């Protein structure tokens, strides 16, 4: 589900869950809607931290399995192929 190669660099806020030595999970596009993905290219990108925090607050409100309890809004950069 990853998107095409970027032609320019982009930055934004994402919702991520640190998994220790296993890396990160992101809130983003999955096969059937939205959920957790290991692909940062599939992460939902927010322009402002406050928007990512608002969505994270909503995810936590309905989180019966405590998936989002340790998630954070984090600034992320995608490096493009600028030639």
Give yes or no for residue 32 having a pLDDT over 60: yes
What's the pLDDT at 82? 65
Nearest to 14 by CA among 27, 33, 32, 5: 27
Count of other CB atoms within 10 angstroms of residue 61: 8
Mean pLDDT across 19-46: 90
What's the pLDDT at 6? 61
Give yes or no for residue 74 having a pLDDT over 80: yes
Percentage, residues of the chain above pLDDT 90: 63
What's the pLDDT at 3? 55
Give yes or no for residue 28 having a pLDDT over 70: yes
């Amino acid at each position: 589900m990853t998107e095409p190669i970027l032609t320019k660099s982009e930055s934004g806020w994402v919702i991520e869950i640190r998994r220790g030595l296993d890396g990160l999970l992101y809130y983003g596009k999955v096969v059937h809607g939205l959920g957790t993905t290991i692909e940062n290219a599939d992460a939902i990108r927010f322009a402002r931290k406050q928007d990512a925090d608002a969505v994270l607050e909503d995810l936590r409100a309905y989180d019966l399995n405590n998936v989002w309890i340790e998630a954070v809004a984090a600034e992320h950069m995608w490096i493009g192929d600028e030639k």
